[in-house]
Amino acid sequence: MSRTAPRRIQSLKVRVHVPCALKSGEPAKARTRHTLAPCTRAYTRTSTRPSKSTGGERTVPHRPHERKGDFQILQAGPVTNEVGTLEANPEAAVTPRGRFFANQTFHFETLRNAGYTLSRCADLGEMLETTKRITEGDLESWYTEWAETADLVEALAARTQDTISKGDAYMRASTYQRLAEFLLPPDDPRRPESFDKAVRWFFQGLDALGLRYEYFSARYENGRLRTLYLPGPAGSEKKPLIVAVGGYDSILEEKYPVIGKAALDRGYSVLIYEGPGQGEPLRKYGLKFTPEWEKPTTAVLDEFLRTHDRPSQIVLFGMSMGGYLAPLPSKNASTALWRTTCASIFMSLQPGSLAR
């Protein structure tokens, strides 16, 4: 019984021509969003197919087709609060492959929070759907779309019966609300309510997940420092206590997906706090950053040790600029506690930034 020879897989050759130009008369450095003139993408394609008449191959041309559309151009630049957009750059036309946005600020903040999928405090599908709705470089669009996603996920959490799914949804809603508010100007009237939502939903997530925690504040100068203690499982008392602090622009709730959940999963207890210049201490009490970081760290640990046993060892963990701040107590303080302290740091400072 004869068999028909299998058909050869088509090999395609594609030639793409994309003529694009800025609309005439527009300044290259204007502080508004620029739109590219409609682009015509002409695709010319040929393929090789088996020929029935000669038994060989024949080349088949395909009719060119066109796609037209408008593209926005944005790139990383200083935030312009009075206009509500980021400075445009004619060299950055469309979102490059492998990026959420062409704009560096938008891309970095999205990527930063996409990493929290590992701790179930973000969902990549929800984030991708949100980024599709955000206009490049438009700060109002950034806030509106992330806040809308946060509200939708919070509503999902409220009607979910399974405790794990409910807790995870509250955690994701908190992440998206914090992300929405992140780029608002300091004097934007929506910031207090947005901050309260992110904090409230975070603790609703902890409650739904059934995680043990102690939430208190430590007195520091004329204000208070928010502190969260997450006790580990049985045996955690034999391991070092991880004390975590953020950097220039993070709040207490972000330390849970950064280090809190991973530490708990590995049997550690975690103490997370906000120092001066961060989160509520800055917003509510006007406390500014200090180079004497041993003072706020000591205030937090003194308050903690007032009701807990002294740990045998402490690991100080700093996120971003916190990687510079965290080790300061171990270098400057002289109490017996610090002689058993080791510092674990994660720094993302630009070279020379501290000198400036």
Count of positions (residues) in the chain: 356
> Mean of the pLDDT values across residues 198-207?
98
Give tens-digit pLDDT for 124-154: 999 999 999 999 999 999 999 999 999 999 9
Helix (H, G, I), strand (E, B) or coil at 237: helix
Handedness of CA 319, 325, 329, 330 (dihedral sign): positive
Is the pLDDT reported for residue 52 higher than 90?
Answer: no
Is the pLDDT reported for residue 228 higher than 80?
Answer: yes
Nearest to 172 by CA among 129, 202, 200: 202
Structure-derived torsion over alpha carbons of residues 48, 52, 54, 56, reported in degrees to the nearest 10: 30
Say if pTM beats, i.e. exceeds, 0.85.
no
CATH number of 214-345: 3.40.50.1820
Mean pLDDT, the chain, as a whole number? 76
**Count of C-beta atoms within a 10 Å radius of residue 124:** 9
Domain 95-181 has CATH 1.20.1440: yes
List residues bridging with 315 in a β-sheet: 242, 342
Backbone torsions φ then ψ of 186, nearest 5 degrees: -55, -30
* 165: Cα separation from own chain's centroid: 21
Separation CA 312–CA 346 (nearest Å): 23
Q: Position 151: which residue type? A: D
> Mean of the pLDDT values across residues 108-135?
96
Each domain of the chain, given as residue ranges in start order, spans: 12-70, 95-181, 214-345
**Which residues are marked as active site?**
320
CA angle 158, 161, 167 (to 5 degrees): 60
Q: What percent of the chain has pLDDT over 70?
A: 66
Question: What are the residue ranges of helices labelled H in 55-190?
Answer: 104-114, 124-133, 139-159, 163-181
Contact 273, 218 (CB under 8 A): yes
